[in-house]
Amino acid sequence: MNFIALDYADLAIAALLVVLNGALSIALRLGLERQLAIATARMIVQLLLVGVVLTTLFSIVSPTWTALAALAMVLFAGREIMARQERRLKGFWAYGLGTSCMLVAASLVTIFALLTQLQADPWYHPRYTLPLLGMILGNTMTGISLGLDTLTTALVRDRGAIEAQLMLGATRREALLPATRAALRSALMPIVNSMAATGLVSLPGMMTGQILAGVDPVEAVKYQLLIMFLIAGGTALGAITAVIAAGYRLTDARHRLRLDRLGPARDGI
Amino acid sequence: MLSVRDLHRPGLLDASFDLADRECVAVRGPSGAGKSLLLRAIADLDLNDGVVTLDDRSRADMPAPQWRRLVTYVPAEPGWWAETVGGHFPDWSGAASLVDALSLPAASRDWPIARLSTGERQRFALIRALLLRPRVLLLDEPTSGLDPEGAAAVERLVADHLALGNSAIWVTHDAEQAGRVAARSLAVDHGRLTEASR
């Protein structure tokens, strides 16, 4: 493999483009320069830190530290799911439900890939585990947030229709079916769209990254296909478990709709 | 016979009463007094405590959907889950005689829900509930959107339901209607249920 290494002077020259953005923002009074500066600084610090952390993890190849890094990623992604809900479940469930479904779905799919397709040595080698998990998590997270948000919105909006069915003797499963379907559709739509568009509209980042690193394009494509299949599986698994679990949480064993277990709508989502 | 003992929920203090077969009891009281909360609690639609039995079978001993088919709540503002009237009736032909009895045309099957008046909604919701052949009807101001003839037709249908050995609880603001449909009245005020003298 041969690739062109970058030195910091190269990056500084490229960063001039961001400085140009800032100058534009000041000239046109967009008021974005402060946010732009903070975002750029955050990106630089976060990515440099990740680089250092990954280098360390790759050199020690410890199952414990790899698992801890993976857990930290899941916990951050869980916070992201919670932040994207217009109405959150009350109590621990607001964070716990999405996070635990994501944890199960993403780790199952990642371990599946590590054990069957990749077969690294050792199988938990962080060089494979963490990037794989990261890509699966990012998409599963989006799927679960969309699914939960669509479900809770539909339950609040269609409360009358759902309770009307319950009053006439429908089970909670029957009464929630339309809302559950809508939630799963919106959870799976992004991955379906991105599978359809990939290669034509967009060249996936991981694939282009491998090509830049000197990998044969056909080999890079094979990796990308693997990732897309894993993402599709992880997203579906995570979204289905999260939406069904939330449906159970928002009803009870006496087949009542329990919107009292849902917090108030929040602005600014 | 429906028996309600110490029924309790937020907004409703311990309510106890019996309802015999073929009996209709009127529930009266000011707006916001807890009349709908009482009916919803009997149908087990909200969290509540208390022992409610029908023909000596406790509702706690049967799945809630089965209970609600026996003791069916018809809200004042019914909900709809399909686009058209017909979408709410798995067996429209079975509903035909009731549709006719409430002076609704047979073609109303294709009417979009969005275009129905309050009175039409109330009549379709009553038909929907009657088709389950419940033992007890919990009626929440079922004629508030109807003219006197429409109200009389609803009263006749409920009388037929009672004549089959069933019973009903009828929430109404109208003292005359209460006198026509029920021999007994319960008064609800600030969540407290009392036997009304009359």
Query: Residue B97: inside a domain, yes or no?
Result: no
Query: Residue B173: inside a domain, yes or no?
Result: yes
The band of B46, judged by pLDDT with boundaries at 50, 70 and 90, is: very high
Distances (CA, A) of A196 to A202, A209, A242: 10, 20, 25
pLDDT of residue B198: 53
Write the CATH number for B142: 3.40.50.300
* Contact check, Cβ <8 Å, B43/A167: yes
pLDDT of residue A269: 52
pLDDT digits (tens, 9 = 90+) for B160-183: 999 999 999 999 999 999 999 999
Q: Which residue of A has its CA nearest to B59?
A: A254
Q: Which residue of A has its CA nearest to B39?
A: A167
Cα A3 → chain centroid: 29
* Contact check, Cβ <8 Å, A164/B65: no
* Contact check, Cβ <8 Å, A164/B80: yes
What's the one-letter identity of residue A74?
V
Q: Taking 60 as the threshold, does the pLDDT of residue A1 lie above it? A: no
pTM: 0.90
Domain count, chain B: 1
Tell me what ipTM this predicted complex has.
0.94
Phi, psi of B71 (to 5 degrees): -125, 95
Q: Which residue of B has its CA nearest to A170?
A: B65
> What is the residue-averaged pLDDT of chain B?
94
Q: Which residue of A has its CA nearest to B77?
A: A160
- Nearest to residue B172, comparing CAs of B8, B29, B10, B22? B29
* Contact check, Cβ <8 Å, B80/A167: no
What residues of chain B lie within 8 A of the CB of A255, using their CB? 63-65, 68
pLDDT digits (tens, 9 = 90+) for A101-116: 999 999 999 999 999 9
* Contact check, Cβ <8 Å, B68/A160: no
What residues of chain A lie within 8 A of the CB of B128, using their CB? 168
Question: What's the domain range around B142?
Answer: 2-82+134-195
pLDDT digits (tens, 9 = 90+) for A29-54: 988 899 999 999 999 999 999 999 99
CA dist A248 and A116 (Å) reads 34
CA dist A100 and B39 (Å) reads 38
CA dist B144 and B173 (Å) reads 9
Per-domain boundaries in chain A: 1-60, 62-261
